[in-house]
A and B are shown apart, each in its own frame.
Chain A
Amino acid sequence: MKKHFVLTRRRACWLCLCLLCVLTLSAVIMAQERGPNPRGDFWGSVREGVSGYTAVSSAGHDVLIHNGGQNWREIRNGLIAGISPWILAGVFTAIMLFFLIVGKDKLEEPRSGIRIARFSLAERILHWFTALFFIILALTGASNLFGRAVLIPVFGQAPFAAYMQWALWIHNVSGPLFLAGLLLEFIIWVKDNIPKKIDIIWFRNLGGMVGKGPRPHAEKVNGGEKAWFWVMILAGIVVGVTGVILDFPIWGQSRATMQISHAIHATVGLLFVAASFGHIYIGTIGAEGTFEGMWRGSVDASWAKQHQDLWYEHKIKEEQA
């Protein structure tokens, strides 16, 4: 009886290995046979971006062909502009679905009428200063990336260019102010935001937002708020530093540095905006009574007991003492 050839996994592996060997060997032989080609090698090296001499020494003119530009274009126009709208829309939709399905995190006990001070006036001013510049930067930055596709068809080219001229200037001036606000926030709030074991339990319980049962413990700042704090600080520093590199082209940074900085700036900036949707949701419509803390500076005792029980107890003890 004739035995049929069966392609087992092992045989397939050997086949692939043999094919690879043949390919490598033929490539080596071909490379040897080609021999030197001075003129071809000369222009090949130019294509790879070697530098020469030029009497016109404006930035980067000694290099005939800069290859980085095409890579940057692919990253900005393809990767960043192509994916980020989906991420932004996805996060927004997820939050809206969460709101529709799970709903608002309401106060479990009726309002007690007792106010507990949460954020001082200085803290609130700093928060809203930074928030204002964050929103300005997000809107002007998004206009820069998506305006050509979204705003030009709506408003026409000349009005959009006139707006964009201002938007760019505002973006460039707001950036350092935002970075300053962010660093100040880090200084005044870092002491409350050191990650602890209690935060892991908080996350395991999904912050008590989903389902029934007792809520996880939390001090003045719960696990979710801490997570946002560190996302904000890290993303803010990355966006801020790369932004400053782009904002001050007077220190002799090369075009390659600015291309890389721009790619990082746009990517992290857009993810930062996506993450901020969660913070804005939970601070406004997501959880009842939260907004008062940052707007009026005080929260209701029932809210404190529900969301930050350990902090509440600490405050009560302070009050009694």
Chain B
Amino acid sequence: MQSLLRPAINKGTDTMKIIRSAGIGIIAGLIASVAVGCYRSPNTTWYEPHDYKGADDPLLSKLEQGGLHAQLDERVRAVQTDR
């Protein structure tokens, strides 16, 4: 039975070098990717009206016609200003 046992040969420093450089590569990659992910654009995100693909809201077209907005502004002046 003992003869079946094969000697475990340490393939030596070459393999260790590969492992080490691979490890350094992985860590460097992780640091780089974290640095990239941390970058944040200073621009504000504007959610443009209609930037939405769901069901239609009839209010949107009403508001775009402008008449309703004027009506609402009139309402502000009527009920919100100090008396």
Contact = CB atoms under 8 A, between A and B. Distances in A.
Given A205-B11, A213-B11, A313-B1, A82 B37 contact: yes
B49 interface: no
Interface string B29-62: 1000110111110000000000001110000000
A157 B52 CA distance: 9
Tell me whether chain B's interface is mostly helix, strand or loop, or mixed: loop
B60 to A, nearest CB: 16
A78 B39 CA distance: 8
Contacts of A157: 53-54
A1 interface: no
Contact of B5 (A74, A206, A309): A309
Contacts of B4: 305, 309, 313
A216 B11 CA distance: 10
A74 B40 CA distance: 8
B38 A79 contact: yes
A97 interface: no
A205 B6 CA distance: 14
A83 B35 CA distance: 10
Contacts of B9: 205, 213-214
Nearest to A205: B11
Contact of A317 (B1, B5, B55): B1
Interface string A210-221: 010111110000
Nearest to B2: A313
Contacts of A248: none
Given A74-B40, A78-B40, A79-B37, A204 B5 contact: no
B6 A309 contact: yes
B66 interface: no
A262 B6 CA distance: 49
B16 interface: yes
A79 B10 contact: no
A214 B8 CA distance: 7
A158 B52 CA distance: 11
A256 interface: no
Contacts of B54: 157-158, 161
A82 B11 contact: no
B6 A206 contact: no
Given A86-B33, A157-B53, A313-B5, A204 B38 contact: no
Contacts of B38: 78-79
Given A214-B9, A309-B5, A313-B4, A204 B16 contact: yes
A154 interface: no
Contact of B11 (A79, A80, A211): A211
Contacts of A80: 37
B15 interface: yes
Q: Which 10 A-B pairs have the closest CB atoms?
A: A79-B37, A157-B53, A83-B37, A82-B37, A83-B33, A214-B6, A217-B8, A157-B54, A201-B8, A216-B8
11 contacts: A74-B40, A79-B38, A83-B36, A203-B19, A205-B10, A206-B18, A214-B7, A214-B9, A216-B8, A217-B8, A305-B4
